[in-house]
Each structure stands twice: as C-alpha cells, then as structure tokens.
Amino acid sequence: MVTNWLDLLDIRCTPEIYIGLLASMFFFGWFAFIVTTMWLHIEGRRVTLLIACASHLVILLGMNLTRNYFTTGAFLFLAGFCNGLRLQVHELYFEDFITTPKRESFSLVRTIAENSVILFAALYFKFISKDLLGLLIVGLTL
C-alpha cells in the first residue's frame, strides 16, 4: 500500500517547486475564499452550508482517488475554498446560538478541539504509523 503522495502521484523526481506548489494549494484556496467572502451574504447561510459540505465531501473523495498531480492540486485548492466557506458558516451559526458571556469560553474549547485533531494526526504519523488507513479508522469511529 502506498502511503505518501510522492509515490502515489509519481512526483519523486519532479522539481521541488512543484511539490511546494502542491502543498500550498490548500492555502491558496483559503485565500480565494477570503477574497470572495461576500458570496456567503448573497446566497444565504443554509444553501451555502449545504453546498460547501456536500462539495467538500466530494472533493475529499476525489482527492483520495486521483493519481494525477494537477487534479490533486485542483482538488486541494477547492478543498481549501470549501473548508473556509464551511467554517465561516459554522462560526456564524455558533455566534447566533451561544449567549455572549459563554461565547469566548466555547470558542476557546472549539479552537482547542479543532487543532487537537491536527496535532493528533501529526503525532500519529510521526510515532504510531505511516499508514493512512489506521488514522481513517480512528477518525471514523470517533
């Protein structure tokens, strides 16, 4: 089983700039979301959230199934865009339903929980296993 993108996308002998560009495409998607953030206010929250969640799921599935460098880069860009859109709508709903005195503490707990997932994934790949399937099984069971 191939466990990294170097072998999966056959980019082991490509110039380093292409690998760096592939790693940056998610953040370029975030930047594109910041530039086009008015779409959220034009289309409405519910429709935007449904579109962002459904397309994020399809994008992540497509990104895991593709074997092409350029398609993976495009999927990463779209995943960054949809992720920013999805998190922005969730943040707006969060602010609407939580009362003002409790908002800061809930926001702190949510941020810690969200970033602990990334920390857990990094520690998993560093110390436990390089296999993605185990991490997916743990993530789906939680």
Planar angle of CA 83, 43, 84, nearest 5 degrees: 15
Taking the whole predicted model, whether its pTM rises above 0.85 is answered as no
What does the pLDDT look like over 83-96, one tens digit per residue?
Answer: 888 877 777 777 77
Q: Which tops the pLDDT comparison, 77 or 8?
A: 77
Q: What share of the chain is helix, strand, coil (3-state, %, to 5)?
A: 85, 0, 15
pLDDT of residue 6: 65
pLDDT category at 2 given cuts 50, 70, 90 is very low
